[in-house]
Amino acid sequence: MALGLRRTGASLGAALAYWLANPVLNPATMIFMGFVLGWRWVGLRVAAGLVLVLVVAYAANWFLRGEQVVPFGLASATGRATSDPAPLWRRWLRALWELSAGLIPEYVVIVLVLGAARAWLFPAVTPDAHGVFWTLGLAVAGTVFVIPTAGEVPIVQTLMAFGLGVGPAAALLTTLPPVSLPSLVMLAKTVPLRVLAFVGVTVAALGVLSGAAAVALGF
């Protein structure tokens, strides 16, 4: 969806706002999280999600100020996009094929690599798994690792049962849903690398701040 929005002429900020808000502020995930982890965790997640979406959307448009966005379509000899005369179903199948052929292979490869590195990204949790270094490490790991929608909730619940502190847990809860290394790589086709780097750094930094807020508020 984010690729499609960008290619059809949506501003970069709007496309990234949709991309980030969809997993971070998903209402079904919020309800699930409230019953499993508690509603104060939902409040922390909503606050962090709103900050993330607004900051990234504004900063992304600032990065590309003055740039012209050409809608995705058939290019004429003048370089301008023109409408495709083919039937809708044929255009849909062609777009699906182009996206699948370009995205699925690299997604599979990156996910396999991350799966092999899981032991280093998420080391064994002990009752001493708390503090600044755990928060920093899991904020980075959560930024690059890929999970299904709402998968962060049982992950955090399980790790906390094994002794993970509230700071690192909040960092994971904030950084796991919005981005991952595969999603960043896939968006590199339509989003400048400097913007993607900013998004990744912002997500990791917000994870650290969420961890500090959870500790300060006595979660």
Q: Which of 46, 82, 55, 57 is nearest to 5 (CA)?
A: 57
pLDDT of residue 209: 95
- Total domains in the chain come to 1
Confirm whether 78 is domain-assigned.
no
Which structure tokens are listed for 96? 């699906």
* Digit-coded pLDDT (tens) for 147-168: 888 888 888 888 888 888 899 9
pLDDT of residue 82: 47
DSSP codes of every residue in the chain: -HHHHHHTT--HHHHHHHHHHHHHS-HHHHHHHHHHT-HHHHHHHHHHHHHHHHHHHHHHHHHTTT---PPSSEE-TTS-EE---S-HHHHHHHHHHHHHHHHHHHHHHHHHHHHHTHHHHSPPP-TT--SHHHHHHHHHHHHH----TTTHHHHHHHHHHTT--HHHHHHHHHHTTT--HHHHHHHTTTS-HHHHHHHHHHHHHHHHHHHHHHHHTT-
Confirm whether 56 is domain-assigned.
yes
pLDDT of residue 109: 56
* Digit-coded pLDDT (tens) for 92-125: 677 666 666 555 655 555 555 545 555 555 555 5
* Digit-coded pLDDT (tens) for 157-213: 888 888 888 999 999 999 999 998 888 888 887 788 888 999 999 999 999 999 999
Confirm whether 77 is domain-assigned.
no
Confirm whether 173 is domain-assigned.
yes
Confirm whether 141 is domain-assigned.
yes
Q: Do the Cβ atoms of 163 and 129 come closer than 8 Å?
A: yes
Confirm whether 178 is domain-assigned.
yes
Q: Which domain holds residue 10?
A: 2-72+89-216
Amino acid at 24: V
Confirm whether 10 is domain-assigned.
yes
Amino acid at 181: L
* Digit-coded pLDDT (tens) for 35-85: 999 999 999 999 999 999 999 888 888 877 655 554 444 343 334 444 556
Confirm whether 81 is domain-assigned.
no
